[in-house]
Amino acid sequence: MTDPARLDRMCNLLAERYGTTGTEAAERLRRWMGGEIPYAEPEMIERHLDEPHAALVFDAFRQVLPFGTGGRRGPMGYGANRMNPSTVAMTAQGHADHLKENAPGAALSVVVANDVRVFADNVGVYPFLGPRHPLLGVSSRSLARLACAIYAANGIVAWLAEPDDDHAVTSTPELSFYIVQLGAAGGMNVSASHNPPDDNGIKVYDAYGSQPIAPEDQRLVDAMDRATAVRTVPFEEGLRSETIRPLPADLRTAYVDTYVELYGNLYPPRADAPVVYTPLCGCGVHTVKPVLERLGFPVLMPPDQGPDGSFAAVPFKAPNPEVPHATVPAREFADRHGAGIVLSSDPDADRIGMEARLEDGSWYHFDGNQIAAILCHHLMLDPEGPRRRGLVMATLVTTKLLGRVVAEAGDSWLIDDLLVGFKYVADVLKTLERTGRYKDIACSPGDLVLAAEESHGVVMAPGIRDKDATPACMVLAGLYQRLLDEGRTMLDYYVAMLRELGGYDNVNRSIALSGAEGTRKKDRIMAALRESPPGKLGGRPVRRFIDYRDPERFGPIASDTERLPRNVLQAHTDRFVITVRPSGTEPKLKLYCQLLPDGEPPGGAGTDLLRRVRAKADAVVRTVYNELLACIDVSLDEAALLLPDIIDLEGKQRFGRETVPRLYDAMRSGKFAGLDELLDWLRRETAAMTPAADPLPALRPALAWLCRQWRDAPDIALVEKLEGWANRERSIP
């Protein structure tokens, strides 16, 4: 029984401390405590109602977890602004209501997918709840089963992979494919993609196998907001009545066949050139790996990187192909087995990653823009490639190099102004299928050559309407083996492209801003840029400033769900394009720098050429990073700017303000007997930066820069040892 006085005290505290938003949070808290919300766990929430937990309670109830560019995604926890059984139940019920409203009386089915996640509270948010509480051990699989039981209770057949297996998974691209193959009315995916292990998410799909865009997604969200009266049946009863059904086994075979046919006879695989692939503990072991094996590639996979919701084998527990550190163990495995390439996918197998070993034995990490450019060039311009012509699509923050490739190829179409999120790519394919036209382009989905985004997403098969790591992996594996025959590396291939087409580059950064205060800071930065558009950025005059919320240029905002995707600002100069947008799925402000050629062929060779080009882009983006922070009266020094963006802004500020001076003073005073003692001290000092993971790898770039500044330190030998350690395993450029 809830203590009313205790609840009143917390509600009053929220209103006093956080104003109007706090009052709204208090109202939601009362609803969750009052039995209006299914699966709310009010007895657990009551244990939050002490003053030390006020900030946590506010953040957990200040809003309903928003429907962003990729559905709902966020930390697992108790409350409206968290992922939990309540969020999933109301989303599933709302989706069921929406489907029935739009097709009354029809026989409906949905496909339900899930990744490998299991909540373990790695960050330590809930120690006050004790060692056992209801969310611990909640998995994507258990949430997917809950969704199935709700669809079944609403008379909608729910297709689920191997219902009796507690560990079965279905990847995001498979979900898209299966919806269409089964003629389902839609689908649901319980996954947080590449987020940390304590996060989870839920994405809803339409009958086309894609996520809906505005205003259709608004109607879906409205149905979800009304869905507190959740209907459900026991999972076993759904199986007996066949309202919950196992996915047909031949669907996965059909998925693999789709890509085997797409690959054709591109390059005969070599049995003596192994390809290392890691699913980063996710679903790709069932998608990417079988396709590579069917094509005949000798695939090697690190034995500890199969499906595992704790991501224990992934550094920082960050299973993201965008993060170079994520594949360090796979690279070490490749070194032991004589492989010169590491391909990877994130936990739901929709993002592609690639690292290539260079002639000196070091490894190069390719970012999403470089992967997209290599694929596009290979498919369209490479004399030894398929020389395809057709449609290329990209978001407004994807490398401009794709446009140059399309122009050189000729007889092709480019769409490169799409909002961020693959649902906008799918919407173009949907429009082409329905009408044969998109704006002034007349073609069909079958003309698709490539759709790509900067965040390691690719589509090549028009029948799969969400990004997929599989086709990129198979093409890159074939190209890698061909280049071996030519005595070249994948990096040689990319550098040759830049010499041919110009010094393009892209650097993406994020300002990680957590919690309610972080949200306010993001909003302040965006508001300041809108109120006073910059005349200069990164030292260059701004020639064009675009606000994608401008109704005169882009039309009125169709619904609330369109506000976030269109919350994008873009500044064009003669040498680069800067784009700023809040993430729709993570607590961060994203900053994109697209470097354009200066008219002169890039100088240098190999990694030297890349360093020159990247140095220009890095200098711009670090300057702009601080120019954005100036909107909230914050500035970072050079060392803090060099920290990776998995570290939030507060952590970077503490590093510059506290850790660096203490480290310098300790080194000057001779506190450390050697490098190992120094590193142990640093590990303890910065442990909070990367919860549940060793922080030291994240410090390497910053420490290397600091050591170059500390040539006057009394113990120069220790400085040099630290610099040597810091420069080890750093990727180029």
Dist CA 131 CA 234 (whole Å): 28
For residue 65, give the nearest of 45, 36, 51, 86 by alpha carbon. 86
Q: What is the mean pLDDT of residues 486-497?
A: 96
> For the chain, what percent of residues have pLDDT higher than 90?
84
Output the CA–CA distances (angstroms, integers) from residue 333 to 63, 527, 614, in the order listed: 44, 47, 28
Residue 487 pLDDT > 50: yes
How far is CA 124 from each of CA 19, 431, 484, rounded to the nearest angstrom? Answer: 28, 46, 47
The number of residues in the chain equals: 733
Amino acid, single-letter form, for residue 31? R
Average model confidence (pLDDT) across the chain: 94
Confidence of residue 733 (pLDDT cuts 50, 70, 90): very low
Closest CA to 393 of 468, 446, 458, 476: 458
Q: Is 368 helix (H, G, I), strand (E, B) or coil?
A: helix
DSSP secondary structure letter of residue 731: P
Provide the pLDDT confidence category of residue 605 given band limits of 50, 70 and 90.
confident
Question: Looking at residue 69, what is its pLDDT?
Answer: 65
What's the whole-number mean pLDDT along residues 563-570? 94
- Give me the mean pLDDT over the 307-317 stretch: 93
Q: Is the peptide bond before 215 cis (omega within 30 degrees of 0)?
A: yes
Please state the rounded mean pLDDT for residues 480-492.
97
3 state SS of 249: coil
Tell me the torsion sign for CA atoms 409, 422, 566, 542: negative
DSSP bridge pairs for 118: 139
Please classify residue 650 by burial: count the beta carbons closer than 10 Å to its beta carbon, then call 0-12 exposed, 13-18 middle and 19+ buried.
middle
Q: How far is CA 328 from CA 180, 451, 699, in A?
A: 37, 28, 15
Asked if the model's pLDDT at residue 463 lies above 70, the reply is yes
pLDDT at res. 1? 60
- Residue 705 exposed, middle or buried by CB count within 10 Å (0-12, 13-18, 19+): middle
Mean pLDDT to the nearest integer, 560-568: 90
- Read off the pLDDT band of 666 (50, 70, 90): confident
Q: Is the peptide bond before 733 cis (omega within 30 degrees of 0)?
A: yes
Which pTM does this prediction carry? 0.91
Residue 93's nearest CA partner among 39, 140, 145, 150 is: 150
Of the candidate ranges 369-373, 426-430, 584-588, 658-662, the one whose mean pLDDT is the lowest: 584-588
663 exposure class (CB count in 10 Å sphere: 0-12, 13-18, 19+): buried
Q: In whole angstroms, give the CA distance from residue 87 to residue 99.
A: 18
Q: Which two tokens stand for residue 434?
A: 């329905």
**Cβ atoms 90, 227 nearer than 8 A:** yes
* Average of per-residue pLDDT across 33-37: 92
- The radius of gyration of the chain's CA atoms, rounded to the nearest angstrom, is 26
**Helix, coil or strand: residue 137:** coil
Residue 177 has pLDDT above 60, yes or no: yes
Strands 588-595 and 505-512: antiparallel
Q: Which two tokens stand for residue 135?
A: 């969310």
pLDDT at 602 (0 to 100): 78
Q: pLDDT for 433-462, tens place per residue?
A: 999 999 999 999 999 999 999 999 999 999
For 512, residues 6+ apart whose C-beta sits below 8 A from its C-beta are 518, 586, 587, 588, 645, 646, 647, 648, 649
Enclosing H/E stretch for 413: strand 413-418
Residue 694 binned pLDDT confidence (cut-offs 50, 70, 90) = confident
Query: Would you place residue 228 in the very low, low, confident or very high pLDDT band (cuts 50, 70, 90)?
Result: confident
Residue of 72, 192, 83 lying closest to 135 (CA atoms): 83
pLDDT digits (tens, 9 = 90+) for 324-350: 989 999 999 999 999 999 999 999 999
Query: How many other CB atoms are found less than 10 A from the CB of residue 718?
Result: 20
Three-state secondary-structure class, residue 219: helix
Q: Which amino acid is at 727?
A: N
DSSP 584-616: SSSSEEEEEEEE---SSPPPS-HHHHHHHHHHH
Which stretches of 52-108 are assigned E, i.e. beta strand? 72-75
Residue with the larger pLDDT of the pair 24 and 559:
24
Report residue 3's pLDDT band, with 50, 70 and 90 as the boundaries.
confident
Helices 515-531 and 606-629 sit at what angle, rounded to 10 degrees?
90
d(CA 23, CA 546) in angstroms, rounded, equals 35
Cα separation, 389 vs 372, in Å, equals 16
What's the whole-number mean pLDDT along residues 16-30? 96
Distance CA(465)–CA(372), nearest Å, equals 17
Calpha distance 298→273 (Å, rounded): 7
H helical segments located in 383-514: 401-409, 422-435, 469-486, 490-501
d(CA 93, CA 732): 49
Region 381-409 average pLDDT? 97
Task: For 536-552, give the secondary structure using H, E and C.
Answer: EECCEECCEEEECCCHH
Residue 584 confidence (pLDDT) above 70 = no
Which pLDDT tens digit goes with each residue over 241-270?
999 999 999 999 999 999 999 999 999 999
The whole-angstrom separation of Cα 509 and Cα 732 is 17
- The amino acid that residue 113 corresponds to is A
With contact defined as beta carbons under 8 Å apart, do 561 and 70 qualify? no
Phi, psi of 169 (to 5 degrees): -135, 160
The pLDDT, as a whole number, for residue 561 is 86
